[in-house]
Structure 1
């Protein structure tokens, strides 16, 4: 199970971007998993890129957790990035 170590989001008038850092408590000496976030113009309204080229697949634990958190933020708390729920229609 991963723990969220850091979440950084920035935004301007048209887009948002940021990163997640996750740590694995069962492997404390490993480097944190880092997932980059970028705005997209269609649902789910964001793109994720894992910094680790071997963990790009969508089922990688850090990618799954980042996706879950972003979907929650955009659906329930879009004001955190200066938007409203109308900016992110759900399909």
Structure 2
């Protein structure tokens, strides 16, 4: 089970980047799963890269959670990256 450890985002007028780290309570001694976030010019308007080279599959729990968090953040503040609410339809 993952718990959010850290979320860092930096925005300018149209771009952003950052990272999200989790604590895996089932494996507390393992390095924290860390996902890098970068701006993209097409939907969903961001790219995710797992720092674990074997964890790039979008079904990896840390990638799923990072995707969910980013979609929430961008739905609540789309103007921060030059978008509108229409760019982020509700699931």
* TM-score normalized with structure 2 length: 0.87
| Match runs of 1:50-61 below 5 Å | 50-61=50-61
Which stretches in structure 2 are left out of the alignment for 5+ residues? none
Cα drift, residue 78 of structure 1 = 3.7
Deviations 1:19-42 (A, max 9, x none): 000111121111000100000111
Structure 1 residues 88 and 9, CA gap change in structure 2 (3 angstroms): farther
Q: 1:44 to 1:88 in 2, by over 3 A?
A: farther
Structure 1 residue runs without a partner (length 5+)? none
SS in structure 1 at match of 2:67: helix
Paired with 2:65 and 2:27, the residues of 1 have a C-alpha distance of 17
Change (3 A) 1:88 1:41: farther
- Superposition RMSD on alpha carbons, in Å? 1.9
Check conservation: 1:45, 1:88, Cα contact below 8 A: no
Deviation of 1:84 after TM superposition, in Å, equals 6.5
1:89 Cα deviation after fit? 1.0
| Total equivalences in the alignment | 89
TM-score, scaled to structure 1 = 0.87
C-alpha deviation, 1:85, in angstroms: 5.5
